[in-house]
Amino acid sequence: MMKSQIASHRGGTLVWGENCRRAFENTLNLPVELVEFDVHPSKDGILVVHHDATLDRTTDMTGPVNAKTWQELAQGSVNHSGGQRMMTLEELCELYRGSDIVLRLEIKADVNKVPYPGVVEKVLATLEKTGMFGQTIISSFNCEVLAELADKAPELFTIWLMQRNMPRLLGTEFAISLAHSMKVNEISVHVTQLDIDAKAQVLASGLKYGCYGAHSADLIQTALEHGVHAFTTDRPDLAITLRNAFMLEKAS
């Protein structure tokens, strides 16, 4: 029976705060398979763990992430973190080194949704430096980023995050063809767009089928019932409980 993998989204946003050290430390104590987070470069090229291209929503700072140096970013604090500063990718890698949890790293774009120059090389170099290359999978909404990853690190497991309107606009057959051209390993759609027939086609093509956005009990249940390979959730604690009950019910 398929056991869907749980990815603690941004460290468990609705439990401990978003993309902060406290969240990542607490996720370490959960029986999840993955911890999901996002990276942007600072003005001086340090990769920092943060979701938005701007600082306004989740920190006490304002402006684009890449408009400030790491020294400037380190002076601020992340909302709902108890005053903690944001982490660098290198720090997060060090935190999870030696654990069984796989890093699910999403490479983000700038405020104009354009990939940062050299960000793929920076990410790969940091993973190599910290010894976490073999314990990381990478996701992105950006096809250009995924194609570059396929060229520079073909051995990495990669996930194409499809925007909500993409499955309908592209159709399953063309989406699969595009995924193969980017040499990704998994297609991930929003949980509300999961489709049994699409899943069958994706799996038949040799790709895995996952979803993101399962942040409530009903949406987590939807992901489990569809038997996705993996799903991201802001409530990893709840997802564990529901998965245990789901697996027990299916086994009985």
Place 165 in a pLDDT band, splitting at 50, 70 and 90. confident
If DSSP codes are grouped into helix, strand and coil, which group holds residue 179?
Answer: helix
Give the DSSP H/E element, type plus range, for residue 36.
strand 34-41
Q: Which residue reads 């949704």 in tokens?
A: 113
Instruction: Give the mean pLDDT of 137-149.
Output: 97
Place 52 in a pLDDT band, splitting at 50, 70 and 90. very high
**pLDDT over 80 (residue 10):** yes
pLDDT tens track for 58-98: 999 999 999 999 999 999 999 999 999 999 999 999 999 99
pLDDT computed for residue 252 by the predictor: 84
Contact 84, 73 (CB under 8 A): no
**pLDDT over 90 (residue 1):** no
pLDDT tens track for 189-215: 999 999 999 999 999 999 999 999 999
**Side-chain half-sphere exposure of 227, counting CA atoms within 13 A:** 10
Place 138 in a pLDDT band, splitting at 50, 70 and 90. very high
Q: Which two tokens stand for residue 174?
A: 């063309």
